[in-house]
Structure 1
Amino acid sequence: MPTGVAIRDVREQLFDAADRILLRDGPSGLTSRAVTAEAGCAKGVLHKHFADFDAFLAEFVLDRADRMAPQAARLREQAGSGTVAGNVTDTLVAVFGSVAVAIVALVTFRDELRARLRDTWPAGVPVLTEAAKMLADYLAAERDLGRVAPGVDPGSLGAMLIGSAHLLFADRTGPPPDRDTVERGVLAVLDLVGGIGGRHPRGA
């Protein structure tokens, strides 16, 4: 097998293991030994491909942020269909149903990781900032179509929606909020801003 392919396979194996540990055990359970054990790799494999554990974590976080690009493209294509509130709700459920909330906790938990990320990600928390940008791009497209009022700032609105959703999903000790709860929160934010076609029927 070509070396490049083998390295990519090992990285994905380790990153997927980190996903599972974060979702199951939280940031305190994410250690180099736990990752290699979860991935079924020898203990030295992680340090063979990464300078140290925080370098691994930084690449893991950035990789998960980069993975949002296809989701952003799909959301952008939905502009003009469904409802603004419905499309935003589905996106928030998908984002926060993934490893996003756990990554926020991880970045908060590890000082050295935050320092590493500042070298390539100077502001905000990866995944959440990408999610806010994804919503902003979508809302800008809806504004161009007349389903969002001309005076609405998509960037600020996207950040508000991400922040309010994060509050709903932040408690990992209980069950996540259901879709109806998330949509009520989305509608509250959209109604507060005003000028949002959040309640238009599908296809309108």
Structure 2
Amino acid sequence: MPTGVALRDPRTQLFNAAERLLLRDGPSALTSRAVTDEAQVAKGVLHRHFTDFDDFLAEFVMDRVERLDAQAALLRESAGTGTVVENLTDALTALFGSVAVAIVPLMTFRLGLRVRLRKVWPAGVPALTEGVHMIAAYLAEERDLGRIAADAEIDGLAPTLVGGAHLLFADRDARPDAEAVRKVVTTVVGSVLRTR
């Protein structure tokens, strides 16, 4: 690996390499050597920026969860436009088209990572929990606009949508098509939709 070359943003370079490995080869492929090889940096670069590999993975997961903020803002902005079903279908497809679905087996695979994440994220799987918050905030906006029933149980709908979509995307060689996601969304929210 090259040495003596200044890296512009080694953390981002390492995180992007970890994401590529995780999506391509799964959680068992993530080792410090594999990440540094994928990032094309010396192995010492990772250990210079993180206390150990589980520290690196915990920060990687939190970095990817923080990226959901932009997606959540776009979803909230879509409230009142298009249809609720299409907005949710697009949001869930984007959520699970990201590294979010791969974070679940990564956390299952690495006890040390779960221990580290519990210090900053007390419950649930960070990407999925953040997805639930994102969907719940959107549903609340739509309820305020009258496109969802005033008595809709958002605290039950949001996790049901995320859980249903996760089942579609998890452990599959091929991604589900939009119609499969739309069917789950329609089944979950169909009874609370309002036309004006």
Determine helix, strand or coil for the equivalent of 1:171. Answer: coil
Stretches (4+) displaced over 3 A: none
Q: Could you give the per-residue CA deviations for residues 92-147 of structure 1, whole angstroms, max 9, x where no partner exists?
A: 11111111111111011111110100000001101111111000000000000111
Alignment map for 1:43-58 (pairs within 5 Å): 43-58=43-58
The 8 Å contact of residues 133 and 155 in structure 1, kept in 2 or not, is answered as no
Q: Could you give the per-residue CA deviations for residues 34-61 of structure 1, whole angstroms, max 9, x where no partner exists?
A: 0000000001110010000000000000
Aligned to 2:178: 179
Q: Which amino acid aligns with 2:177?
A: D
* TM-score (ref. length: structure 1): 0.90
Measure the CA separation in 1 of the matches of 2:165 and 2:51.
35
Aligned to 2:3: none
Q: Aligned pair in 2 of structure 1 residues 8, 147: CA closer, same or farther (>3 Å)?
A: farther
Q: Aligned pair in 2 of structure 1 residues 132, 8: CA closer, same or farther (>3 Å)?
A: farther
Aligned to 2:77: 77
1:63 aligned onto 2:63: yes
Q: Aligned pair in 2 of structure 1 residues 118, 8: CA closer, same or farther (>3 Å)?
A: farther
The 8 Å contact of residues 7 and 49 in structure 1, kept in 2 or not, is answered as no
1:195 aligned onto 2:169: no
Greater relative contact order, per chain length (Cα 8 Å cut-off, separation 6+) = 1
Q: Which amino acid aligns with 2:158?
A: G
Determine helix, strand or coil for the equivalent of 1:177. Answer: coil
Measure the CA separation in 1 of the matches of 2:8 and 2:129.
25
1:140 aligned onto 2:135: no
Segment of structure 1 superposing worse, 153-162 or 71-80: 153-162
Once the two structures are TM-superposed, the CA of residue 8 in structure 1 deviates from its matched residue by 7.4
The 8 Å contact of residues 160 and 189 in structure 1, kept in 2 or not, is answered as yes
Aligned to 1:107: 107
Structure 1 gap segments, 5+ residues each: 1-5
Alignment map for 1:29-48 (pairs within 5 Å): 29-48=29-48
Question: How many residues in Structure 1 have an aligned counterpart in Structure 2?
Answer: 191
Q: Which amino acid aligns with 1:162?
A: V
Measure the CA separation in 2 of the matches of 1:157 and 1:108.
25
The 8 Å contact of residues 54 and 116 in structure 1, kept in 2 or not, is answered as yes
Percent identical: 61
Aligned to 1:3: none
Measure the CA separation in 1 of the matches of 2:9 and 2:104.
25
Aligned to 2:120: 120
* TM-score (ref. length: structure 2): 0.94
Measure the CA separation in 1 of the matches of 2:189 and 2:152.
10
Q: Which amino acid aligns with 2:65?
A: A
Measure the CA separation in 1 of the matches of 2:67 and 2:100.
11
Q: Which amino acid aligns with 1:101?
A: V
Q: Which amino acid aligns with 2:17?
A: A
Once the two structures are TM-superposed, the CA of residue 7 in structure 1 deviates from its matched residue by 7.9
- Superposed CA RMSD in Å reads 1.4
Measure the CA separation in 1 of the matches of 2:67 and 2:7.
18
